[in-house]
A and B are shown apart, each in its own frame.
Chain A
Amino acid sequence: MVVLDYPAWLRIEHWVNVLFLTLLIRSGIEIVATHPKLYRGNDSRPGTEWARFTRKTMPTDKLYDTLDEEESYSSLVSLPGHKNLGMGRHWHFVTVIGWILTGIAYYILLFATGQWHRYLPYSWSIFPETWNDILTYLSFKLPPLLPGEPLDAIQKLTYAGVIFLLAPFQILTGAAQSPAVEARFPWYVRLWGGRQSARSLHFLGLLAFLGFIAVHLTMVGLWGWPQLNALMIFGQARHLGWALAASLAIVAAIVVVHIAATVWSLKSPRSVQRALGFVINHGRLVALRPMVSRQRYPQSALSPEHRVNGKPPDSDDYKVMAVHHFVDWTLHVGGLVEYPMTLTLADLRALGDKQTQRVLHNCVQGWSSVGEWGGVPFRNLVELVKPLPQARHICFLTMQDTGRDEPSAEGAGQFYEVLDMSLARHPQCLLAYEMNGAPLPIEHGAPLRLRIENQVGFKMAKWISQIEFISDYHAIGQGMGGWREDNVYYDKDVEV
């Protein structure tokens, strides 16, 4: 019979878990803040939210985009707070890697050492015992522990639920929000009721974790904080004073980590982007980059109103072109190619049969919509211009001047995004000039935008005027691989 005690690995995992969970919760709240609205349907249609965490109301008489809807939350609840989605994403993703690895180690050790007996029930008698425990707690008394075990019946069931159901549930609903996963396995998103449903469930999972933490701390208080605390420090109920001091020191260290992460992110976001991005990107490229979009949503799934992010170019040149239905617009394709060329919209249409794709659009902020995009497969253009062997990336330059056109944006300058060459030949990598069977609307990027369906929306540059094949992007802008990467510290590869 296994002695269900408190081995060192279990104690260490407990405190590491405290650190990771609190980091996940704060960074998760930062991510929610960027689009503080929860929906049921994939459309994220304004007004259909089932929950809002904002006091902002948007105008109904003029164009606004989802950047205007962002909230700035306090650093006390969000990491790092103050409208820093890029930082929040980095902390969330790097922490989730650590949390998953910790969880895997925990599972392995639980089953390797037999400690799983403390959590997993193996007799139906657990249910009547749980009922008795509930009645006992309602009598303001403490129920008996299960024989030879450190928990009572309801505690055992609750821990089993949190460790083996709630934690995986959070990971699975989180994965259902990855555009790469959604694009490769559309059935998986449907399994959760759709993209927004998965986001809502992920949020409810967060509330469940918060509820668990509150009850857990209350239980520890009721059952004897000093003794239980000592068990989680020394593995035995001894040296209660030292155990208290040690636990306070651990909690203080966790608080220090939070403060350091917050201050570092607010003072030097670029270094956070580089350091955490290094870790995240390696995992992402291995796990998610191979996923190629296979989306084919039915006509009935089209969103009646496709949400918008980013405001159109507010220049006279653009307006004149728009008035003339972009007949004067030209696309310059150059850089490291054998055949640089300039194409009109008519030239692009003549590049091959129009390809259409009905797909789910994932904004980095968390909203989604389903649209049908029509255009020329990007690989057709690649074959036409013939990139040189040293071309490794593609830079999409647009007509948007963010300082002029996007007052809500942090930063200024011409909007651009860099895509890896490996994505250019994806079957659903599209230069779109149509949306829902009509010419691409201005707010959605007319006359030409990029669609790359296993990436987050901001990579899909709109109002494109120039495409350059390049060997390196570090000399462009601030060298991070795109305007948003430069200015709001997003990651360059955004399969999640």
Chain B
Amino acid sequence: MAEAPGREVAVATDGRAGAGLAAIAQTARWAGIAQLISFYRYIAFNVPRVTTTVGIVVLLGIAAIRLYWLVGGFPLPVYPAYLGGYFGLLVAVAVLAAGSMVIGLKPRLVRLGWVLGSVVSVASIAMYVASRTVGLPGLPRLLRWWDYPLGTFAMALAALFVALHLSVVTGMNVAYPQRRDWHD
């Protein structure tokens, strides 16, 4: 018997809270909050060739900058050998990724190209940021050296590629040779 009033109160409180929550949920639904949060599901583009072309151009841009650094354009006259190896590896993987994105006859190979492209992009951002923040072995002069336009541009390209890939993964975009199956 002692429990009953408490339970009633709890129930009443839950009821009020429930009503309040329901009202909030209804208001949120009316205002389209859920729609806004999931807005990307309302956006779909059907420009696979444009998407892939942009992806390849961006990726080749990332590779070209590293190639430029590799062949003598790096702002430091001397740098550790591992950095040269990293530049070379990044150029090779970026070109490989771009190649599989455009000539990949199997969808799996194309997907792999995009994933490799994102790996290259994320790695390039991580290395660049690490060289400016925590520092890289043998490269103390790069610490806090942010005012380097080409480096910033390379980061922007990498971020653009990751964003583009994300748009493909979420279904906002489709990449060549995939097509939208819009027959309605």
- Chain A positions within 8 Å of B, measured between CB atoms, are 36, 46-55, 57-60, 71, 73-77, 81, 134-136, 138-141
B149/A138 in contact, CB under 8 A: yes
Tell which of A47, A73, A136, A141 touches B183, judged by Cβ atoms closer than 8 Å: A47
Q: What separation, in Å, do the CA atoms of A53 and B44 have in the docked complex?
A: 6
Whether B41 is near chain A, meaning CB under 8 Å from some CB there, is yes
Q: Known interface pairs A57-B184, A73-B32, A76-B31. Does A50 touch B45 (Cβ–Cβ under 8 Å)?
A: yes
Q: What separation, in Å, do the CA atoms of A53 and B41 have in the docked complex?
A: 8
Q: Known interface pairs A60-B183, A138-B152, A139-B149. Does A55 touch B42 (Cβ–Cβ under 8 Å)?
A: yes
Whether B36 is near chain A, meaning CB under 8 Å from some CB there, is yes
Q: What separation, in Å, do the CA atoms of A244 and B41 have in the docked complex?
A: 38
Q: Known interface pairs A60-B184, A135-B149, A139-B148. Does A81 touch B32 (Cβ–Cβ under 8 Å)?
A: yes
Q: Which residues of the partner chain A approach B36 to less than 8 Å between Cβ atoms? A: 74, 76-77
B184/A139 in contact, CB under 8 A: no
Q: Which residues of the partner chain B approach A36 to less than 8 Å between Cβ atoms? A: 42
Q: What separation, in Å, do the CA atoms of A81 and B184 have in the docked complex?
A: 25
Apart from A60-B184, A73-B32: 8 A-B pairs, beta carbons within 8 A: A46-B183, A51-B47, A71-B42, A74-B33, A77-B36, A81-B32, A138-B153, A141-B147
Q: Which residues of the partner chain A approach B149 to less than 8 Å between Cβ atoms? A: 134-136, 138-139
B43/A53 in contact, CB under 8 A: yes
Q: What separation, in Å, do the CA atoms of A134 and B183 have in the docked complex?
A: 45
In the complex, which residues 55-109 of chain B have their Cβ closer than 8 Å to any Cβ of chain A? none
B184/A58 in contact, CB under 8 A: yes
A49/B182 in contact, CB under 8 A: yes
A74/B182 in contact, CB under 8 A: no
Report B169-184 CB contacts with A as 1/0, cut-off 8 Å: 0000000000010111
Report B107-150 CB contacts with A as 1/0, cut-off 8 Å: 00000000000000000000000000000000000000011111
Q: What separation, in Å, do the CA atoms of A54 and B41 have in the docked complex?
A: 8
User: Within the complex, what minimum Cβ distance (angstroms) separates B125 from chain A?
Assistant: 15
Going nearest first, the 5 A-B pairs with the smallest beta carbon separation are: A74-B32, A58-B184, A139-B147, A138-B149, A138-B152
- Chain B positions within 8 Å of A, measured between CB atoms, are 31-33, 35-36, 41-47, 146-150, 152-153, 180, 182-184
Q: List 11 A-B contacts (CB under 8 A).
A: A46-B184, A47-B182, A47-B184, A51-B43, A52-B45, A59-B184, A76-B31, A76-B32, A76-B36, A138-B150, A138-B152
User: Within the complex, what minimum Cβ distance (angstroms) separates A140 from chain B?
Assistant: 5
Tell which of B32, B33, B44 touches A52, judged by Cβ atoms closer than 8 Å: B44
Q: Which residues of the partner chain A approach B148 to less than 8 Å between Cβ atoms? A: 139
Q: Which residues of the partner chain B approach A54 to less than 8 Å between Cβ atoms? A: 42
B46/A51 in contact, CB under 8 A: yes
Q: What separation, in Å, do the CA atoms of A310 and B96 have in the docked complex?
A: 53
Q: What separation, in Å, do the CA atoms of A415 and B100 have in the docked complex?
A: 57
Q: Which residues of the partner chain A approach B43 to less than 8 Å between Cβ atoms? A: 51-53
Q: What separation, in Å, do the CA atoms of A134 and B149 have in the docked complex?
A: 8
Q: What separation, in Å, do the CA atoms of A32 and B36 have in the docked complex?
A: 16
Q: What separation, in Å, do the CA atoms of A136 and B147 have in the docked complex?
A: 8
Q: What separation, in Å, do the CA atoms of A139 and B75 have in the docked complex?
A: 14
Q: Which residue of A lies closest to B182 (CB)?
A: A47
Q: Which residue of A lies closest to B155 (CB)?
A: A138
Q: What separation, in Å, do the CA atoms of A423 and B118 have in the docked complex?
A: 60
A50/B41 in contact, CB under 8 A: no
Q: What separation, in Å, do the CA atoms of A418 and B182 have in the docked complex?
A: 37
Residue from A47, A53, A59, A74 having most chain B Cβ neighbours under 10 A: A74
Q: What separation, in Å, do the CA atoms of A139 and B35 have in the docked complex?
A: 38
Q: Which residues of the partner chain B approach A140 to less than 8 Å between Cβ atoms? A: 146-147, 152
A75/B42 in contact, CB under 8 A: no
Q: Which residues of the partner chain B approach A47 to less than 8 Å between Cβ atoms? A: 180, 182-184
Q: Which residues of the partner chain B approach A141 to less than 8 Å between Cβ atoms? A: 147
A49/B184 in contact, CB under 8 A: no
Q: Which residues of the partner chain B approach A71 to less than 8 Å between Cβ atoms? A: 42
Q: Which residues of the partner chain A approach B153 to less than 8 Å between Cβ atoms? A: 138
B35/A73 in contact, CB under 8 A: yes
User: Within the complex, what minimum Cβ distance (angstroms) separates B42 from chain A?
Assistant: 5
B182/A139 in contact, CB under 8 A: no
User: Within the complex, what minimum Cβ distance (angstroms) separates A470 from chain B?
Assistant: 41
Q: Which residue of A lies closest to B149 (CB)?
A: A138
Q: Which residues of the partner chain A approach B31 to less than 8 Å between Cβ atoms? A: 74-76
Q: What separation, in Å, do the CA atoms of A134 and B44 have in the docked complex?
A: 32
A75/B32 in contact, CB under 8 A: yes
User: Within the complex, what minimum Cβ distance (angstroms) separates B53 from chain A?
Assistant: 14
Q: What separation, in Å, do the CA atoms of A136 and B148 have in the docked complex?
A: 9
A55/B183 in contact, CB under 8 A: no
User: Within the complex, what minimum Cβ distance (angstroms) separates A493 from chain B?
Assistant: 32
